[in-house]
Amino acid sequence: MRHHAFSAACVVLLLPAKALAMHCTASHPVTHDIVVRGLLDPSVSIERRKRLADRLLCSALAGNAASQELAGELYFEGPARKGNVLPRDLSRARRLLTAAADHGRRHAMHDLARLELADHHPYRAAMWTRVETALHGPPPAGVAPLHERVQRRVTPDSRLDAEVAAKVRAVREAMGKAEP
């Protein structure tokens, strides 16, 4: 419980004041609705996309794992992503993606592995690829090359095994799943 409160406190420190002032819950606004309304559509005015990004961040702060995942991805990609109004910020990306991954979001785990590898942390990347595989099975074909690249750079050891096992237990608990 303390871990979730700490994670929420860390996310609070990352959000703009506008996002904190909005009324959001973990289920409202719905992430898909924010995207459909033009979050990443370059034909939508930048002001509207910024308001939608604020709603996304508010939803992420409220604990919506899908919003945490998307916001983390957008901070990771920054302006390289067409229509994205959020800046590239690896620290914010890491915190938001970790919050989503801690709730079992597979794509967040994959993006965390990409981020950690890009940020020269292959051990952390290996931890996330192994957690993803343990929770969701073998990676899809398009993701497998990342897993292979990470595994070539890190030699598994008992410390990594222990960290992966602990993270898998924690994520399963957060997802409400019992151990197999």
Residues 6 or more apart whose Cβ sits within 8 Å of residue 35? 70
110/121 Cα distance (integer angstroms): 14
Instruction: Select from 89, 115, 138 the last residue of a domain.
Output: 89
* Cα distances (angstroms) measured from residue 180 to each of 86, 136, 137, 169: 39, 13, 13, 10
Q: What is the full per-residue pLDDT of the chain (180 aa) written as tens digits?
A: 444 444 444 444 444 444 444 578 777 778 999 999 999 999 999 999 999 999 999 999 999 999 999 999 999 999 999 999 999 999 999 999 999 999 999 999 999 999 999 999 999 999 999 999 999 999 989 888 999 999 899 988 999 999 999 999 999 999 986 454
Looking at the structure of the chain, the number of domains it has is 2
- CB-based burial, 152-179: b 16+ in 10 Å, e otherwise: eebeeeeeeeebbeebbeebbeeeeeee
Is residue 29 one of the residues assigned to a domain? Answer: yes
Domain housing 54: 1-89
Instruction: Select from 65, 89, 113 the last residue of a domain.
Output: 89
Its pTM stands at: 0.84
145/172 Cα distance (integer angstroms): 26
